[in-house]
Copies of this chain bind each other. A is one copy, B any other.
């Protein structure tokens, strides 16, 4: 049986590895457009921040290992351009010209790509996006060779913020700009305010409410132009989100959903029974709403790949869905969230009630304690926990996970409040910050 996979990163290589491991007789063929497979895209900002590290350190497993040790027919530099669902073949262009390959089962794991602004100047030398390893490689090279002193980042999402830290660490002056006047609009205002304050305290300038009109070259510099603002830069990073690479699927009329992501069922099957999709190109289910969502996350891509492999091999694994847990680091802060924000809760038919609490990362009187802010949301009528957001200098990144597991179990706030969480003075107060928030939320729910 031919199991053909389009795309050789998280979802694709997870599927390939697991399928081959479970059935070595299976012919597993992976077509990867770039020359890179299986790398930690999320690690790029940290790698870029450190000139002594090679970008290729981010490669988790090299192509040769997949080929020689695992017996996967991995073809890098091979772009699939068309799927023929009737003949069950893929067609594309590779290093040695055009190719066709028949499949029994096909996995589309083409990922997502950065949204590009539709403005003049985005193709100028020194204007970058950051998604795949090549992007990271080019940015790193450019910084090294061009003596970059000033950078403008368009966008203020996770990647943009991680890059603001990375560039600042390299001694580069960073300005960030975006049209929305709200900083991190999908987070609670108080939590977002804490983050904004810290980013600014490191000398990063934030221009909120400024749409970028064009990028031009002037006197050997790049100039990012907004209505009433001009920002000089040696380099510009556009980080305004991603869109799923779903064109191959749309060309053969597979169903798509939110943001044009490829629509899959709980077994990761598309609307064609022999074609699966997983990772950043596909939609998924949200446990809290029970509805479809599109949140590209590394863990979900890996897990999706595994489940596809299991199902291709005759399994019937059903994905329960995600709760949207994420964490990022920006300067000294850990920022984490899980579940719904108030806006999404409302639009999903809940009546969100929320609290904000400010607690400590260590016990009363224990030295070195830091502030932790917790924002927690529940549904007015059912008292179900809907989500949480947290920010602080320590003890945030993993603390969010107890709330995440609570969401997977549809716990009510009063039930969560009864959970027996760990306590020791160096690691937290007797009442875990998430329990303090749950208690306040309980009171508010009455």
Contacts and interface: CB of A to CB of B under 8 A. Distances in A.
Interface in A52-68: 53, 57-58, 60
A40 B365 contact: yes
Interface string A25-54: 000000000000000101100110010010
Interface string A88-115: 0000000000000000000000000000
B43 A298 contact: no
A123 to B, nearest CB: 30
A409 interface: yes
A323 B402 CA distance: 14
Given A302-B430, A405-B405, A420 B42 contact: no
A327 interface: yes
Interface in A305-331: 319-329
Given A40-B425, A401-B421, 16 more contacts: A42-B363, A60-B365, A287-B420, A297-B420, A299-B420, A302-B431, A325-B420, A329-B424, A395-B397, A397-B428, A398-B422, A400-B422, A404-B420, A404-B421, A405-B405, A408-B419
Contacts of A416: 405
Q: Interface of chain A, helix or strand or loop or mixed?
A: loop
Interface of A: 10, 40, 42-43, 46-47, 50, 53, 57-58, 60, 287, 297-300, 302-303, 319-329, 334, 336, 338, 363-367, 395, 397-402, 404-406, 408-409, 411, 415-416, 418-428, 430-432
Contacts of A60: 364-365
A149 to B, nearest CB: 26
Nearest to A58: B365
A426 B338 contact: no
Contacts of A431: 299, 302
Which one of A10, A42, A406, A424 has the greatest number of beta carbons of chain B within 10 Å?
A: A424
Contacts of A399: 398, 401
Contacts of A43: 363-366, 425
Contact of A42 (B303, B405, B424): B424
Which one of A57, A299, A415 has the greatest number of beta carbons of chain B within 10 Å?
A: A299
Nearest to A41: B425
A426 B329 contact: yes
Please give me the 7 A-B residue pairs with the lowest Cβ-Cβ distance, nearest first.
Answer: A397-B427, A401-B402, A327-B422, A409-B409, A398-B398, A405-B405, A322-B420
Contacts of A363: 40, 42-43
A388 to B, nearest CB: 11
A319 B46 contact: no
Given A365-B58, A405-B402, A423 B298 contact: yes
Which one of A321, A397, A398, A421 has the greatest number of beta carbons of chain B within 10 Å?
A: A398
A397 B409 contact: no
A428 B302 contact: no
30 contacts: A40-B430, A43-B363, A46-B366, A46-B425, A53-B367, A58-B365, A60-B364, A60-B365, A297-B420, A299-B431, A302-B430, A302-B431, A319-B418, A327-B423, A327-B427, A328-B424, A329-B426, A395-B397, A395-B398, A398-B398, A398-B401, A398-B402, A398-B427, A399-B401, A401-B419, A401-B432, A402-B404, A405-B409, A406-B409, A408-B420
Contact of A404 (B46, B404, B419): B419
A294 to B, nearest CB: 14
A300 B397 contact: no
A203 to B, nearest CB: 21
A299 B423 contact: yes
A317 to B, nearest CB: 9
